[in-house]
Amino acid sequence: MTPNAVAFYAVAALIVLAAGAAVGLPSLRSAGYAGGAVVVLLAVLELISGAYELAVVQVVVPGIAAGGVALVLRRDAYRGLISGPILPGRFWIAAPIAIGVGAVTVVTVALVDAGWYPGNTLVNLPALVQPALITVLHYRAPYALAIAVVVVAVTLGAGLVIGRRSGDEQSLDQLLQQRRQREELARRRREDREQGRRRPARDDS
């Protein structure tokens, strides 16, 4: 289904704006919202192009991943990760490279335009080759689905192994926690002693 021109250009402009906000906004929280907007706008683009199933995948899969990230970031130990100091960006390096790459790719694909049409290749192939190629294309979807399931399973395992706290780290955290509690207790006792010394001095005066 060929998308409506007005809808396509409107969504395309919004995608580029949201993508720019996702990489340009100094606040990570705002950048995260902009990244979410990019995902939703991509799903809208797929909807107006007729890729309905893909639009669902586009929202659901990154949504699950983002939900997992949000759950981890809600924990006290990782709050500083998102609210840390804003670091200055290296835009003087990034901007010329991005503009160069963007200019080359945009000009190239704009010049190719109708040359992307792959049907010519398929149609012009000999009759013997064509059914085989169509069969491969037809069965690509189940293979992609099976590989995607394997990739997700491996990612879950690897993510848990990488992100989990080891026994050493847990015992170190406990020791640090006990040390902080001891220091807090000592500080309170010191303050109490100092207050106790000040009171008789006030009574004498």
CA 73 to CA 190: how far, in whole Å? 36
Which distant-in-sequence residues (6+ apart) come within 8 Å of 141 by Cβ?
Answer: none
Residues 88-107 that bind another protein (CB under 8 A): 88-91, 93-95, 97-99, 101-102, 105-106
Q: Which stretch binds another protein (CB under 8 A): 3-11, 177-185, 186-194, 195-203?
A: 3-11
**Please, which of residues 29-58 interact with another protein by CB under 8 A?**
31-32, 35, 38-39, 42, 45-46, 49-51, 53-54, 57-58
Establish if 201 lies at the interface with another protein (CB under 8 A): no
Query: 12 in the Ramachandran plot: left (φ > 0), alpha (ψ -120 to 50) or beta?
Result: alpha
114-153 positions binding another protein, by CB under 8 A? 114, 116-119, 122-123, 134, 137-138, 140-141, 143-145, 147-148, 151-152
- Computed on alpha carbons and rounded to an integer, the radius of gyration of the chain in Å comes to 29
Residues 151-180 that bind another protein (CB under 8 A): 151-152, 154-155, 158-160, 162-163, 165, 169
Torsion (CA) 58, 60, 66, 70 in degrees, nearest 10: 160
What are the tokens at 43?
Answer: 């799903």
- 5 near another protein, rule: CB under 8 A: yes
Closest approach, Cβ 74 to another protein, in A, equals 13
Residues 6+ apart with CB under 8 A from 22: 31, 32, 34, 35, 37, 38
User: For residues 53-72, which are near another protein according to CB under 8 A?
Assistant: 53-54, 57-58, 61-62, 64-65, 68-69, 72
